[in-house]
Structure 1
Amino acid sequence: MKDNKEQEAPIIHWRIDEWFPDLSPELRARLKTYHEELIKFNRTVNLISPKTLFVADALHFADSILASQVIYKANSKIDKIFDLGSGNGFPGLIFALLFPQVQVVLIDSDLKKVEFLKHIVSLLKVTNCTVEHKTIESMPDNSMHYVMARGLNTISKAILIARKVVPKGGAFYHLKSEEWGIEVGEIPTQLCSIWAPSLVGEYKLPVGAVKFSVVKTDKIA
């Protein structure tokens, strides 16, 4: 009976080395450190849901890796991108680690989360990534040509919040489930005259059968 607790203790998985052998050993080591710090800080800061803690390698790391690759493959001209409501650093910090030639700015209004992001950016020596403790609305008009978000809000609400900061010709990349079409259908007509949505790409996580999507809204007016 004394072994029951050990048997019942859930395992915190780390399978990135197995799933992404094409990533350099140095990059995979940095991702592992990020994972360890995320687990540690999550005890005091609400960075990820406790339900996803043990499979964070799939639901947060693999998801952000795959989505970042879809975004960059679709637009390799990106030289600077803002992650709005970055919070735990997904996907922005992962994007910065994958593509060191791109400047990435993590924006969040939660001071504790910002402090975590600054800590991890410094620890991992991510020189192409900066963190700003600001609201999206307080950023200068037309200051973000490329932006992305994961879990910020519905597409309608996200583009409404970002309508002043993204200039005409800019683009907003949304990380969504395969139900993204429902959210696009809910975009008000007024916003559709300003933003044009399109599917950039779809992917599946290394575990499970659920599809995920990257949807782009181009600022056309």
Structure 2
Amino acid sequence: MNEEILLKEGSLLMGFEMDEKTAQRLLKYLHILWEWNKRINLTAEASRETIIIKHFLDSLGGINLIKEKEGKLADVGSGAGFPGMVMALCIPRMDTVLIESIGKKGEFLRSIIRELGMENASVEVARAEDLGRNPDFRECFDYTTIRAVSSLRVIVEYCLPLLKKGGFMLAYKGPGVYEEIKEAGNALEVMGGSVVEVYEYELPYTGERRSIALIEKIRESPRKYPRRAGIPQKRPL
């Protein structure tokens, strides 16, 4: 199937009607990613079609959970830009900060922003734990997104300190999300988060099951969190 048709029809199946300009920008992003992937490991997928389905379309899973299509969004552990770069391209009024700790991946993300002339996206090469203690970033965001980083009990400590009270965290997960939510009970309580809903969906063309835990920040996170870089992963709450 033609890549543009795959992307546009797939996005409709995900509940998002993509205009021509957005589709072309995403396809240019795909082309740049494909070339960069020959130099550094950004994705293990063997074909461009698989990248569209497993990464681009999966990133759209959370787009209808973002009710206000403007404000500030932090994508934690952006890697190759999923879901944050896709969100930034599809929601142009959302000011998006892509947080990535690996310098080469940050360089790739900045190249996408330059090539596409994006004015609503920026990159921070840093650990989320460090930014969560930085007053320029702490409690500054309306939304955080995170995908394929770690277990829920770990990532709530990365994401919730970045959110304003009343903001929302979108944790992209697989079908085992309910067990992760149980395990994250203490972390959610400590960090001031509450699970609002679990949105379940299937990837177009493959039927693979995915889910997103939508978590609201109902109170401020204690000032001593997040802990130093690496500690949340080693000693989850």
TM-score (normalised: structure 1): 0.84
SS at match of 2:204: coil
Bigger Rg, structure 1 or 2:
1
Instruction: Indicate how the Cα distance of structure 1 residues 61 and 157 shifts in structure 2: closer, same or farther if over 3 A, else same.
Output: same
2:153–2:187 contact (8 Å) kept in structure 1: no
1:183 maps to which of 180, 183, 203: 180
- Residue ranges of structure 1 left out of the alignment (5+ in a row): 1-10
Per-residue deviation, 1:46: 1.4
1:71 aligned residue (65, 88, 105)? 65
- Distance (whole Å) between structure 2 residues aligned to residue 174 and residue 49 of structure 1: 21
Instruction: Tell me if structure 2 keeps the 8 A contact 1:71–1:200.
Output: no
Assess if the C-alpha contact under 8 Å between 2:34 and 2:48 holds in 1: yes
Contact 1:199 1:216 in 2 (8 A): yes
Distance apart, 1:52 and its partner CA? 6.7
Cα RMSD between the aligned structures? 2.3
**AA of the residue aligned to 2:205:** V
Aligned mate of 1:204, from 202, 206, 226: 202
Residues 159-218 of structure 1 deviation map (CA, whole Å, 9 limit, x = unaligned): 123343334333211111122101101114353352211325222211122221221122
Aligned position for 2:214: 216
CA distance 1:175–1:52, change in 2 (3 Å): farther
> Who is 1:170 aligned against?
167
Indicate if the aligned counterparts of 2:62 and 2:170 stay in contact, CA closer than 8 A: no
| Shift in CA distance, 126/68, structure 1 to aligned 2, threshold 3 Å | farther
1:196 and 1:219 in contact (8 A); partners too: yes
Hey, what does 2:232 align to over in structure 1? none
Partner of 2:51: 56
CA contact (8 A) 1:170 1:219 kept: yes
Letter in 2 for 1:70: N
CA offsets 1:133-161 (integer angstroms, 9 cap, x no match)? 11112212323342111112111100123
Percent pairwise identity:
27
| Amino acid across the alignment from 1:29 | Q
Match of 1:112 in 2: 104
Which 5+ residue runs of structure 2 have no aligned equivalent? Answer: 220-237
CA offset digits 1:21-45 (Å, max 9, x no partner): 7422221111111111111111111
Greater Cα offset, 88-97 or 206-215: 206-215
Match of 2:189 in 1: 192
SS, match of residue 169 in structure 1: strand
Map of 1:60-139 to 2, 5 A cutoff?
A: 60-65=55-60, 67-72=61-66, 75-76=67-68, 78-139=70-131
Residues matched between the structures, number: 208
Residue 5 of structure 1 aligns with which residue?
none
Residue in 1 aligned with 2:141?
Answer: 144
SS at match of 2:165: coil
